[in-house]
Amino acid sequence: MAAETTALRPSASPLATAWARLWRSRRMAQRNILVYRHQWIIILSGVFEPIFYLVGIGLGIGAIVREVTVADGTVIPYAAFVAPALMATAAMNGAVFETIFNVFFKLNYAKTYDGVLATPMGITEIALGELIWALLRAALYAVAMFLIMLPMGLVLSPLGILTIPAALLVAASFAAAGLAGTSYLRTVNDFDIPMGLVVMPMFLFSGTFFPITIFPEPIQVAIQLTPLYHGINLIRGLSTGLFDAMDLLSVAYLVAFFAICLWIAMRQMERRLIK
Amino acid sequence: MTLAIASTRVFRRNWLVYRRLWHRSIAFGFLQPLMFLTAMGVGIGSLIGAQQQDAFGGFPYLHWLGPGLMSAMAMQTATFESTYPIMNKIMWGKNYEAMLSTPLSVRSLVGGELAWVAFRIGTLAAVFLLVLAAFGIVRSPLAVLAVPVAMLTGVAFSACLIAFTATQRNDVGFSAIFRFVVNPLFLFSGTFFPLTQLPDALRAVAWATPLFHAVELIRGLVLDSLDLATAPLHLAYLLVMAGIGAYLADRLLKRRMAG
């Protein structure tokens, strides 16, 4: 569909076409904002989830544990160890809740995208639009978390400000992964699979609440293959100031993961929507 | 038709639907405690030194956490089962409307749903107890009593939430319940860390909340450390909550289905 629209204007350069698509995709995000106007509590309540975990685990357990020794032998307060990880998981949750539950509903029940496709918007615009919206939601969670961490003294380095763009990268990766995965789900009971077998285990095992070095080597390697591990590693590195050149690998991992997932998402959406 | 028989019919309806999904439910019933115990119990436990164990009544953290998670599972399952699925039967799928056109009464709907939640949580709690036993956490044969306590906890939460769901016109309120009620209870009821870590004022609040009482009972039974002086109070709290919840659920659902 989008291909037809651009075919009408053969003079447009590929860059201009790409920009036009990106610009058009804002409509998808605008639509979501309009829908959520009456359900803002759903979005806003998500802000509190990482904060509750920070107080409950970070301070509650932190009062007993006090300090944790990270990979290079540096000792940091337990709450400062957990907080950046919760920022990463908040970005992940914001992105996957949006792209799994809501996109599934729009794809299979509300048939929202069938309606959207009757406009000048195509598959690319839908995917990008949902991505932008998920990013906005995740950005809210990441910034809120950062603003809580700051006065609590949990941002240990000036590099900490970079946790916000890093959280956006994490959110973009998971939003793309969510979009790609949702198109494979058939019924509401299938939500158990991405949530119970992917999101929950990553939340628990990616070094959120304790260093992964407590596990045997093969399990550590398996954990290092997951995107959340890299998200946490990156954000924690920035907020504690322990960031080094090796952590650029995490950035590379997330960028590659994002690109691959986005490609799968577009291909799958096309398959599901254009028959 | 007596209330008991009518409730059985509602229970049977849920069973027929569940029959196609039970294996997945039991599989996740095993997996979830396994993952939580390995991650939180073993993981966080590894950060807690021997001297710091005093904060957890002298138990290793994994042992202390396990029964707490079992109580939280009862709350979370009951909450989930009593929000979206009940809303579906009231509004989206209109199952209750159809059921009420038969000799069933609203009271038997509530009775059947509560019996169903008790059954679901009973099976999940039994699975959970097996996992706890596999981790070597169970210290007394009396631990089997933790299963009925978990069922009571589930029924108490479920009754209150059916009452809440009966007043809702869309599912927006459920997000608020999960985020502002269930999650804080999960984290601050002495599940993950002892309430002695909280300031006095907050500790008083925790005493007033339901999950705390379930955690105390279940932990006491599993770890064989039950305080017989306070146990009847905890039990009474849960029984009263279940009673009030069932009364409200019946009234509010009646009003909803009439309107």
The pLDDT profile of chain A, 275 residues, written as one tens digit per residue, is 444 454 455 567 888 888 888 899 899 888 988 888 878 888 888 899 999 999 999 988 998 988 998 877 889 999 999 999 999 999 999 999 888 888 888 888 888 898 888 888 888 889 899 999 999 999 999 999 999 999 999 999 999 999 999 999 999 999 999 999 998 988 877 888 888 889 999 999 999 999 999 899 999 999 999 999 999 999 999 999 999 888 999 999 999 999 999 999 999 988 888 87
Distance, in Å, from the CA atom of B154 to the CA atom of B148, rounded to the nearest integer, reads: 10
Quote the minimal CA–CA distance from B184 to chain A in Å: 7
Q: How far apart are CA B159 and CA B99, in angstroms?
A: 19
Determine contact: A258 vs chain B, CB below 8 A: no
The one-character DSSP state at B230 is T
Contact B159, B249 (CB under 8 A): yes
pLDDT of residue B82: 96
Over range B217-246, report the average pLDDT: 97
In this prediction, residues B184-194 reach a mean pLDDT of: 93
Contact B44 A210 (CB under 8 A): yes
**Predicted local confidence at residue A13, as pLDDT:** 86
A46, A49, A56 member nearest B188 (Cβ)? A56
Q: What residues are paired with A135 via a beta bridge?
A: none
**Confidence (pLDDT) at B137:** 96
Q: Which of A144-148, A249-253, B17-21, B177-181 has the lowest mean pLDDT?
A: B17-21
Q: Tell me the shortest Cα–Cα distance from A92 to chain B, in angstroms.
A: 16
Q: Which residues contact B215 (CB under 8 A, 6 or more apart)?
A: B67, B68, B71, B72, B189, B190, B191
Q: Residue B125, Cβ neighbours under 10 Å: how many?
A: 26
- Note whether B47 contacts A201, CB cutoff 8 Å: no
Q: What is the ipTM of this complex?
A: 0.88
Q: Tell me which chain B residue has its CA closest to the CA of residue A78.
A: B47
Q: What is the pLDDT of residues A16-25, one digit of tens each?
A: 888 888 899 8
Establish if B35 touches chain A: CB-CB under 8 angstroms.
yes
Q: Which residue has the higher pLDDT, A138 or B50?
A: A138
Of B175, B176, B187, the CB nearest to A53: B187
Q: CB-based contact (8 Å) between A63 and chain B?
A: yes
Would the CB atoms of B179 and A200 count as touching at under 8 Å? no
Length, in residues, of chain B: 259
Which secondary-structure segment (H or E) carries A76? strand A75-77
Q: Is A61–B184 a contact, with Cβ atoms under 8 angstroms apart? A: no
What integer is the mean pLDDT of B112-131?
Answer: 96
Q: Which two tokens stand for residue B20?
A: 């196609």
Alpha-carbon gap, residue B219 to B70, rounded angstroms = 9
pLDDT of residue B78: 96
Residues of chain A found within 8 Å of residue B42, distances taken between Cβ atoms: 214
Give the C-alpha separation, B185 to A56, whole Å: 10
Using CB atoms, pick whichever of B32, B40, B187 lies closest to residue A52: B187
- Collect all residues of chain B within an 8 Å Cβ-Cβ radius of residue A41: 172-173, 175-176
Residues of A in contact with B46 (CB under 8 A): 210, 214
- Give the chain A residue nearest B170 (alpha carbons): A39
Contacts of A42 in chain B (CB under 8 A): 172, 175
SS3 state of residue A266: helix
Q: Taking a contact as any Cβ pair under 8 Å apart, which residues of chain B between 169 and 208 contact chain A?
A: 172-173, 175-176, 178-180, 183-184, 187-188, 192-193, 197-198
Closest by CA to A84, choosing from A199, A209, A235, A233, is: A235
H or E stretch at A75: strand A75-77
Place of tokens 């006095």: B200
Question: Model pTM?
Answer: 0.90
Which of B179, B192, B196 best probes binding to A when mutated, by most A CB atoms within 10 angstroms?
Answer: B179
Say which amino acid occupies B155. V
Question: How many other β-carbons are positioned within 10 Å of the β-carbon of residue A223?
Answer: 17
Contacts of B34 in chain A (CB under 8 A): none
Average pLDDT, chain B: 93
